Structure 1
Amino acid sequence: MADNVLTAERPVHAVPLEEKVGQLFVAGFDGVEPTDDIEQLVSSHHLGGIIYFSRNIESPSQVASLSERLQTIAREAGEPPLLIATDQEGGVVSRFDWGAQLPSQMALGATQDPTRLRSAGETVGEELASLGISMNFAPVLDVNNNPENPVIGVRSFGDDPEAVGELGSALASGFQSAGVIACGKHFPGHGDTETDSHRSLPVIPHDKDRLEAVEFVPFRRAIDDGIDALMTTHIAFPAITGDDTLPATLSKEVLTGLLREEFEFDGLLVSDCLEMNAIAETVGTAEGAVQAIAAGCDVVLVSHSPERQREAIERVIDAVESGEIPEARVDSAFERVREYKHRQFTEEREKPQTWTETVEQSREVARQLAREGATVVRDRDDTLPFDTSAPIHLVGFTGDAQSDAEDDRYDPNDFRTSLARNETKVYHHEVTDTHGYEHPFDGGEQVVVATYHARSNPGQARVVREIADAATRLAVVSVRDPYDLAAVPDASTYVTGYGYSPAMLDALADVVVGKAGGDGTLPVTIPGVE
């Protein structure tokens, strides 16, 4: 384009259609350097933004250089600056792990401290800004009231709608105070499903009254508190749409009727990735882009395939030219994107700190919140703390990521390293076959069993019961999610950390040996357990 839409402020009717459409797309790519495909999308398809995944991340200096290189590509092509986004939720969804890796949102929910969360959000936002990242697809505003949920779980603050809204709004406010756009997700709510929308289309059958009382509450709070952006979910809500095959992302009743008109949300509305199976394997990615924009999305994500990215942009242009999408709908979305870019890139704001200036504060915030969130759910026999002058036996299990959204960079068995920090002799028993495992204990030993998603792995519960029968001094520590207690309801000592980020494993180890109190408050109800 001959001039920059941010500085020239051309009337929207004077901006060519292909430029307006391209600005509505955010795309991802493979590798730690810009690919030819992504450069072409920016220069010839007027791409509006980039999303980073772990595959793009190597080091802080590399990410900062990558961001600058991408902005240079846009600038040299005469394009507006790019929105550069990522998913830095904390816990199992953390694209960066050098500093700004908070514990999971459920661990933050266990702190019950919105003031601290706002401060934490600001710290994370400052670190992201130092790397050239202007948008964070967080916080998660889903109410996780279904223990069988395979994709949200500890990514949620908990199962209390009011608490989720208060804590989510606090975290979002912190991001925004650092100049990073916060994007709450996944509207209208992904918390009460037993299906992962990365893999198929979930359906939430609840009536409107139930949705108002639970799912909508955090989103209304976030809107009232001024959140910048919201992300849609690929879930069917037949109580709103009358159709159990229509994802919310593609529904005008959900996005325009409910969110824009009833909730009066005027921020950016972003689709979840249109290459997830709930879209890609039903209507298809390109058709999904058409329907999402027509329904009310301002920005659509196509995170992986260059062919699908180009096809989707070109299909939307064709749909506007044919009258399938009114050009006024594209104009509205384009103007909203341009408004946010103007705010991000032309308004006077302090220069971001360098990464080295932000990282220590980020790490300290993560450590503090992990210690405050770690929760001793019960300790009926005063088993804790363990004696560090005697050996501690750690029985651990192998575990894999539960959802395609997760970053599978850590091993729950790293708990042994955290325990050994305390100058304690740690004997590690890694169990790969729960059915064949025979414990070696004969009574009197100090044993930690670190469960991992035990509700779906009944062999772990068998191991716990048999070790308990050996009259050992036993503490069960969940390193994945708190719902493991339902699998071992008779455990007399049960501790949970809501995830296994390094800071959280260190905090759990400190609880076991008495260096931390484990005073977090369980933010969810465990089924069948008082």
Structure 2
Amino acid sequence: MMKKLLPILVLLLSVQSFSQNLDPLRTNDYYAQQKWVDSIMSSMTIEEKIGQLFMVQAYSNKDTVHENFIKKMINEYHVGNLIFMQGTPDKQAELTNDYQAISKIPMLIGFDGEWGLDMRLKNTYRFPWNMTLGSIQEDKLIYEFGKHLGKHCKRLGIHVNFAPVVDINTNPENPIIGNRSFGEDKVNVTQKAIAFSQGMQSVGVLGTAKHFPGHGDTATDSHIGLPVLNFDMDRLEAIELYPYKRIFDGGVGGVMTAHLSIPVLESNPKLPTSLSKKVVTDLLKEKLGFLGLIFTDGLNMKGAANYSTSAEIDLAAIQAGNDILLIPQDVPATVELMKTSLSNGTLSEDRINESVRKILLAKYKVGLHQYQPIDTLNLVEELSTVQDEILHRDLVKASMTVIKNKKKILPVEDLEKNKKIAYVALGDDSGDDFLNILRKYTKITKVSGEKLDKIVSELEDFDLVIIGYHKSNKHPWKSYKFSNQELVWLHEIARKNKTILSVFASPYSLLDVKSYNNLEGILVAYQNSKKAQEIAAQTIFGAIAANGKLPVSIKKEFPVGTGFTTKNLQRLQYTIPEEVGMSSEKLSKIDSVAEVVLKEKMAPGLQVLVARKGKVIYEKSFGFHTNKKKDTVRNSDLYDVASLTKILASLPMLMKAEEDKKIPLNASLRDILPKFKKSNKDTVTVQEILSHYGRLQAWIPFYTHTQDSITKKNLNKFYSKKKTKKYSIQVAENLYLNKSYKDSIYKYIKEADQRERVGYKYSDLGYYLFKEALERKYRKSLDELVQREFYQSLGADRMTYLPLQKFEKKEIVPTEKDTYFRNQLLHGYVHDMGAAMQGGVGGHAGLFSNANDIAKLMQMYLQKGYYGGKRYFKASTFEKFNKRYYASEEVRRGLGFDKPQLNPDIKATCGCVSDESFGHSGFTGTYTWADPQSGIVYVFLSNRVYPTMENRGLVKEDIRTEVQRLIQEAILPE
């Protein structure tokens, strides 16, 4: 007997399983769910059942009159569901708890949050619009978006979100859908909608596909009228209806019916599809087999409200087959009309029971059978998390869409060829965030004006023009169109200049552009959010690769799906700490250290930058240029970096020279500088000097040899207040050194005694010699060499010798009030005396920079000679220099690079970085370090020598390495 029953049992189980898959409201514990529903329904009055059909509009930003109205709806009319509109999350949570407390049956709370709770509520999170998301090729990201939004809803006690929009937006002039659609490609829209709804429902919040049967090809806003779709059935099935069967198979819990007039579906031209039995029951429920909840669109919308009285509209909606009346306008009248209709037979209780049962199934599915009030502790903070921010950035990155890329202009790779780049802003919104990040990569000049002729004239000298088209990001219905003047300007600028256009608006904005021929590159960034601006700038310069595809077509030139994949050039990105596994909270401790530095006057100001895995995650400036507190320190300001010059200028050139076989590591000093033959240094090797193992003196105070030994005043035979042919070396403002003294410097070095004791001794002297050797080998001055070979192509436009030749004083931080040599505040002139006597260009000092540009070169080292699409030297060359050759002699240094201490009593680092790490410190209060193991680049810049070099608090308190320790502690466990 059991053998005969087994196949039947298996069949029944498979049918049950199949049925359960089709019914999105069923739970895994279906029998318990049914039992709960049956128990509720058996105790309900007809008035209570009718009340379950309403979802009334509630606000959290209105007065007690409104709140009392909602309570009356619940108490007197048994309203079973609420949709919250404008307000704030904390107030909504408070009201939800109050309303749920007086409701006999827990209410379904609905919400219209297509791109996040921000669609209705202040102080909540906003994700990108669907049009932006439609360009993304990884549907897993859309799933995650749905999941995050679902978590927000669930945290706020929302059970149904009226999303996703599945309308196929084939009409660019659609006034109400547009940016709310995933695009015009039905397959893409469907895949995105399924991924989104499944992500949201994975955390227990029902999705609602809308607007059935399709609102994408309308020219009328259904909020103000009844749109008409004059399509035949073949067209509807091919386009508008295409997503629904598939998203039903994907398990979406709800559908929202639209207020449309579609003659092929409903012959009565005045009857909206939302009120049509042919559409809701015959098509949606029977033909398409949808078993989930069916909501009307808002019944306050003119597309429905113009049809009849509110009560008659509500009755018609239920008779048509809808389950929940969204935003009914007259609940009391509707209740009376339904009761009358029940008594006269025009409405059956079975029809009401069918919907009530589905509503209760849904309530069980979202957990209302075990209702708990909303926990309001930390509510607002938990609705906007770091994880949301990371996902948002990932979504925007994946959306970047390059639709034109003539001669592969994107990403902008060759900064030597594109030396002069201009930015022009079009549109009526700000592009400041875009420009700020563009300037992280190279010098960008903003060109603006009210007259086209003036702008075109100014742009003549530029190699490249980047145009940002910026339109309001306030909401997706804001105008995105170019003005006629802007179209003319765009045409004229592109006609005369190599031009990249970055569109921070709907891609439909490009429809009005008459010709795209003169535009070399077009990047569609979709929205003018801060993130979109920042990420678009990073995409243009190749820090981020573009992978997006156009979700709509723009004329014949750019069909749907257009999108060029661009290269990642491994330039620095700019993001948040958590994206690279670090804690914002822990990094903020750096701020506290900075405040101590300022309070204790260890330095008037400072810059700190931290990058990890090629991404800048902390970049802040503190304090002022001097103790006068007049000029605040900005991230763009330049500091005298002192001995960092060794690894930022001399060392990269020495690596190149080693590869070029011009200055081999095993070469002796006499080999690279013949004048040192037969000196006491002639056999010292390059490797020994770079390792500070060459027995050289630490330094020679050359300037004292040019002063009176008693008065300590500068001697007239060496100095002049004016520049002349004889006195041509500028040492400081209005102070010029006799040009013959250059030979004296090398003479002093040559004749200086060697240290008798073999071993480690840090020395500047070797870098005087390396400068001379490099300039002789390459026949250019060191400042010209590093600019040509490294800084220009790195985009290090704020790293330079002789900064006053390129920058205004207000952009340069002063160092010391010199009372011993130059007798002035050193402002834009190198602090190091020996470098000053070399005209400001020393191998050991003289460089000025901001933290960002130092990070570029340090990142290039981390990437073993590669950055921005260019290989500067071989990986093996970097490894050769980042090695200790005399560790057995207790020399911690690599070749040029400082390395972690071998003796724990020495504070070269925090003692918490890897042995592979490298960097350098500078006398003026600077420090930079990079660690291949952790991927961290750290830059600390200050003018701790202000007011004088006796200000040693920063050094005594080991501030630079203390900050390094805080950085290491901010790394999150994996």
Relative to the length of structure 2, the TM-score reads 0.47
Shift of 1:92: 12
**Inter-partner Cα distance in structure 2 for 1:279 and 1:430:** 49
Q: Which residue is 2:87 aligned to?
A: 56
**Is residue 529 from structure 1 mapped to residue 557 from structure 2 by the alignment?**
yes
Q: Which residue is 1:404 aligned to?
A: none
Q: Which residue is 1:15 aligned to?
A: 44
Match of 1:440 among 447, 455, 463: 455
1:461 and 1:508, CA in 2 relative to 1: closer, same or farther beyond 3 A? same
Shift of 1:335: 1.2
* Amino acid of the structure 2 residue aligned with 1:46: H
**Inter-partner Cα distance in structure 2 for 1:187 and 1:348:** 32
Q: Which residue is 2:353 aligned to?
A: 331
**Is residue 24 from structure 1 mapped to residue 53 from structure 2 by the alignment?**
yes
**Is residue 393 from structure 1 mapped to residue 423 from structure 2 by the alignment?**
yes
Shift of 1:133: 1.5
Shift of 1:505: 3.5
**Is residue 373 from structure 1 mapped to residue 399 from structure 2 by the alignment?**
yes
Alignment of 1:26-45 (within 5 A): 26-32=55-61, 35-45=67-77
Per mean C-alpha deviation after superposition, the further-off stretch among 99-108 and 220-229 is 99-108
1:16 and 1:349, CA in 2 relative to 1: closer, same or farther beyond 3 A? closer
Shift of 1:259: 0.8
* Amino acid of the structure 1 residue aligned with 2:136: T
SS in 1 for 2:431: helix
Q: Which string of whole-angstrom CA distances, capped at 9 and with x for unpartnered residues, describes residues 338-390 of structure 1?
A: 11112223467999996545622112111101110121111225544567996
**Inter-partner Cα distance in structure 2 for 1:430 and 1:129:** 50
Shift of 1:188: 0.5
Q: Does the CA-based 8 Å contact 1:68-1:132 persist in structure 2?
A: no
Per mean C-alpha deviation after superposition, the further-off stretch among 436-445 and 375-384 is 436-445
1:204 and 1:100, CA in 2 relative to 1: closer, same or farther beyond 3 A? same
Alignment of 1:62-461 (within 5 A): 62-63=90-91, 66-76=92-102, 78-90=103-115, 94-96=119-121, 100-302=125-327, 308-346=330-368, 355=379, 356-357=381-382, 359-380=385-406, 382-385=408-411, 392-398=422-428, 413-421=429-437, 423=439, 427=446, 440-442=455-457, 443=459, 444=462, 446-450=465-469, 452=471, 453=479, 457-461=483-487
Alignment of 1:438-517 (within 5 A): 440-442=455-457, 443=459, 444=462, 446-450=465-469, 452=471, 453=479, 457-469=483-495, 471-488=496-513, 489-490=515-516, 491-517=519-545
Aligned residues: 497
Q: Does the CA-based 8 Å contact 2:433-2:530 persist in structure 1?
A: no
**Inter-partner Cα distance in structure 2 for 1:280 and 1:438:** 53
Q: Which string of whole-angstrom CA distances, capped at 9 and with x for unpartnered residues, describes residues 224-247 of structure 1?
A: 111100111111111112233321
Shift of 1:270: 0.5
Q: Which residue is 2:951 aligned to?
A: none
1:31 and 1:324, CA in 2 relative to 1: closer, same or farther beyond 3 A? same
Q: Does the CA-based 8 Å contact 2:218-2:229 persist in structure 1?
A: yes
Q: Which string of whole-angstrom CA distances, capped at 9 and with x for unpartnered residues, describes residues 477-530 of structure 1?
A: 332211222222414322212333443333333333433233201122222324
1:290 and 1:351, CA in 2 relative to 1: closer, same or farther beyond 3 A? closer
Structure 1: which 5+ runs fail to align?
Answer: 399-412
**Inter-partner Cα distance in structure 2 for 1:18 and 1:92:** 33
1:392 and 1:118, CA in 2 relative to 1: closer, same or farther beyond 3 A? same
SS in 2 for 1:476: strand
* Amino acid of the structure 2 residue aligned with 1:440: I
Per mean C-alpha deviation after superposition, the further-off stretch among 473-482 and 196-205 is 473-482
SS in 1 for 2:455: coil
Per mean C-alpha deviation after superposition, the further-off stretch among 483-492 and 344-353 is 344-353
Q: Does the CA-based 8 Å contact 2:423-2:435 persist in structure 1?
A: no
Q: Which string of whole-angstrom CA distances, capped at 9 and with x for unpartnered residues, describes residues 17-53 of structure 1?
A: 2221221111223443662222221222222222233
* Amino acid of the structure 2 residue aligned with 1:144: N
1:391 and 1:80, CA in 2 relative to 1: closer, same or farther beyond 3 A? farther
**Inter-partner Cα distance in structure 2 for 1:389 and 1:318:** 80
Per mean C-alpha deviation after superposition, the further-off stretch among 355-364 and 252-261 is 355-364
1:390 and 1:82, CA in 2 relative to 1: closer, same or farther beyond 3 A? farther
Shift of 1:330: 1.5
SS in 2 for 1:221: helix
1:346 and 1:272, CA in 2 relative to 1: closer, same or farther beyond 3 A? closer
Q: Does the CA-based 8 Å contact 2:270-2:307 persist in structure 1?
A: no
**Inter-partner Cα distance in structure 2 for 1:519 and 1:29:** 41
Q: Does the CA-based 8 Å contact 2:87-2:121 persist in structure 1?
A: no
Shift of 1:154: 2.1
Shift of 1:282: 3.1
Per mean C-alpha deviation after superposition, the further-off stretch among 364-373 and 516-525 is 516-525
SS in 2 for 1:231: strand
**Inter-partner Cα distance in structure 2 for 1:130 and 1:24:** 25
Q: Which string of whole-angstrom CA distances, capped at 9 and with x for unpartnered residues, describes residues 387-435 of structure 1?
A: 799675342323xxxxxxxxxxxxxx2432343245556748699xxxx
Q: How high is the sequence identity, in percent, across the aligned residues?
A: 29
Shift of 1:221: 0.6
**Inter-partner Cα distance in structure 2 for 1:461 and 1:93:** 33
SS in 2 for 1:465: helix
* Amino acid of the structure 2 residue aligned with 1:75: A
1:237 and 1:360, CA in 2 relative to 1: closer, same or farther beyond 3 A? same
More RCO (CA 8 Å, sep 6+):
1
SS in 2 for 1:185: strand
Per mean C-alpha deviation after superposition, the further-off stretch among 223-232 and 414-423 is 414-423
Q: Does the CA-based 8 Å contact 1:144-1:192 persist in structure 2?
A: yes
Q: Which string of whole-angstrom CA distances, capped at 9 and with x for unpartnered residues, describes residues 110-134 of structure 1?
A: 1122222212211221122112211
1:225 and 1:326, CA in 2 relative to 1: closer, same or farther beyond 3 A? same
Q: Which string of whole-angstrom CA distances, capped at 9 and with x for unpartnered residues, describes residues 292-319 of structure 1?
A: 111011011117xxx6455445544444
SS in 2 for 1:150: coil
Structure 2: which 5+ runs fail to align?
Answer: 1-33, 472-478, 559-974
1:93 and 1:525, CA in 2 relative to 1: closer, same or farther beyond 3 A? farther
Q: Which has the larger radius of gyration?
A: 2
1:315 and 1:193, CA in 2 relative to 1: closer, same or farther beyond 3 A? same
Q: For the aligned residues, what is the CA RMSD?
A: 3.2
Q: Which residue is 2:851 aligned to?
A: none
Q: Which residue is 2:809 aligned to?
A: none
**Inter-partner Cα distance in structure 2 for 1:487 and 1:375:** 19
Shift of 1:458: 4.1
1:346 and 1:302, CA in 2 relative to 1: closer, same or farther beyond 3 A? closer
1:285 and 1:430, CA in 2 relative to 1: closer, same or farther beyond 3 A? farther
Q: Does the CA-based 8 Å contact 2:402-2:524 persist in structure 1?
A: yes
